[in-house]
Amino acid sequence: MKGFLFDENVPRRIRFTPSLPIVHATQLGESCIDSHLWTYARENALVIVTKDSDFSNRIMVEAAPPWIVHLRFGNLQKNEFHDFLARIWPNIEALLPHNKLINVYLDHIEAAQG
């Protein structure tokens, strides 16, 4: 793993610092399609962080990279979202790269090896 690729549905700025660099989808061009994000993440050994189930469905039939962190919780207020991610992010990073899919819920985290 060389970094994280945040999908368009994840805020561009976060209030904590992951251990690896972040690229946001908007840096790759306006409204990048999922297949472009997938290819970019694969070629650059990145973890896609998304709320989009298309990525988690695809990774179940393919091998990593990319790895997927699927944020599977509804909308939160901005402060709640940032506080929640900051609190659980060390757990997410601990599960990578040994798991190709990390599903993040408000009350638990699930990991799928690959």
Confidence of residue 12 (pLDDT cuts 50, 70, 90): confident
Answer for the pair 5, 46: CB distance below 8 angstroms, yes or no. Answer: yes
Domain range for 59 is: 3-113
Backbone CA torsion sign across 41, 110, 103, 86: negative
Global pTM value: 0.93
**63-111 pLDDT, tens digit each:** 889 999 999 998 888 889 999 999 999 999 999 989 999 999 999 999 9
DSSP-derived secondary structure letter, 15:
S
Contacts of 15 (CB under 8 A, 6+ apart): 82, 83, 86
Q: How many domains does the chain have?
A: 1
